[in-house]
Each structure stands twice: as structure tokens, then as C-alpha cells.
């Protein structure tokens, strides 16, 4: 059966846009499209989504003076299913113009899902689309955003927000999580997991853990601690020193521990253990690595100690957990081939 429906995705491009806030969603969505096509006979394969770089001119210059060729001119009245607004280097005010705002409003009225990355939320707010709705932006612009758009319900303590079909991600890293959230919503958890695994599964956390929405759970907006969390996630296999992490950010160990606990609800040591175990759980579910390799990959040099902690946390051994979840996973995969 052909893959349906086809989603039209627009990646809005303008001068001084941060390249990563465009390229990262594009790479994740392209990976999702690839995995969706796998398992379908060539004669029945279709394109599950189309990606267009949309702009008001034929070219633009991204941050870092990188030229970008636009392959789709912004056309009044044309609508897309999903739109990504990138963050801009420095203040986004220069990217705001009446034609662009009208285009965003028309797409919102037509039912498009619109995702703003970093200070790209200024465009949604300037269009009036965020009035009396929860939203977030890059932490550096909190005060300015609140003064310019007092009618927007700014969520300083959340890295992502969802209000109807309008989404905001406070940083580029959050944009990756938001993109995976959309992939899961449209094409299912299995595809989202495969994409996450392809793009470093240990650093991806579900939207529900960091986003503000109708069933929102606690999260934080401390950019320094968020950077530390990202560093921890990408260095799990190493011997991590909390004291060195504090010193690298010009904080005493006590101040760092207090700030980290305030932001996450856990001490740095508790958080590190939690992330290592969650990463191990994902690798047991989604990879073919041996339990010993997973233990070492997640920073547990002693496999027996890893097994003890895993049993305490998940109430089952790593081997038993893998057996229980992989049987179902591979049954699904066989059905798709």
C-alpha cells in the first residue's frame, strides 16, 4: 500500500537564520521519510513528505555568511502542512515583514502545524498567533519578548511548548526533540525511535519530559544546566567529574549542585545515573549491542554493577528486559518488510 498522506513541509529561510535550526529538522525528517519507505515494494513506494526551502528571495545568507539557494519562493495563498521557522543570529526583528506575517496567518488558518525554533517565535508572536497562548523563546530574549508581546503567555521554565498546532522550541537541541515529537505524532513511535537511534539516541528525550502542553510535566529553562545535561548525554561512556563540570562553568561545586538540583529535581550524581540507565534501556530495546558493550557505552565499567542498578530501577535484569521487548519489536519489523 502507498504511504499516505503526503505531508508538505516548509523550512522558512531568511538572512542570518541559524543553519542548524534549518538543517537539523531537515535531516531528521529526511531520515523519517527513508525509514517510512523501507519495507514497501518499489512499485508501491511513495513520498511520505516533501521538504521545501521557502523564502522571499531566490537566495539568502545564513549565519556565518553561508549562502543558501531557495528552491521555493514564498507565494501568498499557498499552504503547507508543517512549517519550521528557524532561529536568527542576533535579534529577529529584521526578519519580520507584513508579507511573511500574512503568509503565516493564512497557513495557521488553513490548519498548518507551525514550529518556531529559538527566537523564531518572534514571528509567530508578531503575527498575533500566540496571543493568550503559551510559548517560549531563547532564554537570552525572555525580557525583550515579554515586553514586546505581553499578551503571550511566556513559559520561561519550559524548553518546548505546544498550543494547538503551534509549537515553540527554546533552542536548537530542543528543536530536535520537537521534530521527533512531530514524527511520532504523524508516523508512529517506531519510526521516531529509528530516527532517534540514527541521530544519537542517548541524547534524545521525549517531548513530554521537557515540553509545556495540556498535560505538561515539570521542566526548566536554565540554559547553563541544559548545556550541562547535553554534555552529560554526549559523554556518557566517559568518567565524568561533577567537580570538573562545575569548574568549567565557573561555579563552585556546592553552587553547581544546588543549581542543578533546583533545575532538575535531582543531584548531578542522581541525574547522571538516571540518564545512563535510561540510555541503557533504549539501547537494549533498539540495538544489537551486547549487554557488556551497552554497560561500557553508558559509563558502567563493571557489568555486574550495571545489572544490579538496572534491576533496582526496572525490576528486571537487562537480559530479561531485552528479551521481553525485542520479541515484540522484531515481530513489528517483520510485518513491515
pLDDT digits (tens, 9 = 90+) for 29-50: 999 999 888 856 555 556 788 9
pLDDT digits (tens, 9 = 90+) for 57-72: 999 999 888 899 999 9
User: Which of 50, 31, 34, 46 minimizes the C-alpha distance to 1?
Assistant: 46
Number of domains observed in the structure of the chain: 2
| Residue 306 burial (CB count, 10 A) | 22
Would you say residue 137 has pLDDT above 60?
A: yes
Q: Give the range of the structural domain holding residue 267, as residue numbers without chain letter.
A: 223-336
pLDDT of residue 192: 85
Q: 113 and 185, same structural domain?
A: yes
Q: 250 and 181, same structural domain?
A: no
Mean pLDDT of 104-132: 96
Last residue of a domain, one of 185, 212, 239: 212
pLDDT digits (tens, 9 = 90+) for 240-254: 999 999 999 899 999
Mean model confidence pLDDT for the chain: 85
Q: 235 and 113, same structural domain?
A: no
Q: 174 and 237, same structural domain?
A: no
Could you tell me the CATH number of the domain that includes residue 177?
A: 3.40.50.880
Q: 228 and 165, same structural domain?
A: no
Rounded CA gap, 168 and 137, in Å? 7
Q: 238 and 204, same structural domain?
A: no
- CA dihedral angle for residue 50, residue 55, residue 58, residue 60, rounded to 10 degrees: -110
Mean pLDDT of 188-214: 61
Would you say residue 330 has pLDDT above 50?
A: no
pLDDT tier at 51 (50, 70, 90 boundaries)? very high
Q: 233 and 196, same structural domain?
A: no
User: Which of 222, 271, 273 minimizes the C-alpha distance to 249?
Assistant: 222
pLDDT of residue 315: 82
- Higher pLDDT among residues 222 and 87, named by residue: 87
Amino acid at each position: 500500500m502507498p504511504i499516505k498522506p503526503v505531508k508538505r513541509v516548509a523550512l522558512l529561510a531568511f538572512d542570518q537564520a541559524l543553519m542548524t535550526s534549518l538543517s537539523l529538522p531537515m535531516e531528521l525528517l529526511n531520515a523519517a521519510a527513508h525509514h517510512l519507505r523501507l519495507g514497501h515494494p518499489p512499485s508501491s513506494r511513495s513520498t511520505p513528505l516533501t521538504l521545501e526551502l521557502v523564502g522571499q528571495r531566490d537566495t539568502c545568507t545564513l549565519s556565518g555568511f553561508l549562502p543558501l539557494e531557495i528552491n521555493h519562493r514564498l507565494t501568498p495563498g499557498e499552504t503547507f502542512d508543517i512549517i519550521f521557522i528557524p532561529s536568527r543570529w542576533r535579534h529577529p526583528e529584521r526578519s519580520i515583514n507584513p508579507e511573511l506575517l500574512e503568509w503565516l496567518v493564512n497557513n495557521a488558518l488553513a490548519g498548518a502545524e507551525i514550529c518556531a525554533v529559538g527566537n523564531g517565535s518572534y514571528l509567530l508572536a508578531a503575527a498575533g498567533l500566540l496571543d493568550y497562548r503559551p510559548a517560549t523563546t531563547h532564554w537570552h530574549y525572555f525580557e525583550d519578548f515579554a515586553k514586546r508581546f505581553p499578551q503571550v503567555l511566556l513559559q520561561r521554565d519550559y524548553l518546548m511548548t505546544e498550543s494547538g498546532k503551534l509549537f515553540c522550541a527554546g533552542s536548537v537541541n530542543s528543536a530536535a526533540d520537537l521534530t521527533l515529537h512531530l514524527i511520532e505524532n504523524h508516523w508512529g513511535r517506531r519510526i521516531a525511535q529509528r530516527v532517534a537511534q540514527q541521530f544519537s539516541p542517548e541524547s534524545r528525550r521525549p517531548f513530554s519530559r521537557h515540553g509545556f502542553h495540556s498535560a505538561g510535566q515539570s521542566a526548566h529553562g536554565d540554559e547553563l544546566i541544559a548545556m550541562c545535561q547535553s554534555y552529560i548525554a554526549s559523554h556518557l561512556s566517559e568518567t565524568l567529574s561533577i567537580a570538573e563540570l562545575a569548574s568549567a562553568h565557573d561555579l563552585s561545586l556546592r553552587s553547581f549542585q544546588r543549581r542543578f538540583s533546583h533545575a532538575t529535581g535531582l543531584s548531578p550524581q542522581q541525574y547522571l545515573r538516571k540518564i545512563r540507565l535510561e540510555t541503557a534501556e533504549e539501547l537494549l530495546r533498539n540495538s544489537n549491542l551486547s549487554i557488556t558493550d551497552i554497560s561500557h557505552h553508558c559509563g558502567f565499567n563493571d557489568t555486574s554493577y550495571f545489572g544490579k542498578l538496572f534491576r533496582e530501577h526496572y525490576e528486571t535484569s537487562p537480559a530479561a528486559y531485552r528479551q521481553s521487548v525485542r520479541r515484540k519489536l522484531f515481530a513489528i519489523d517483520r510485518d513491515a518488510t
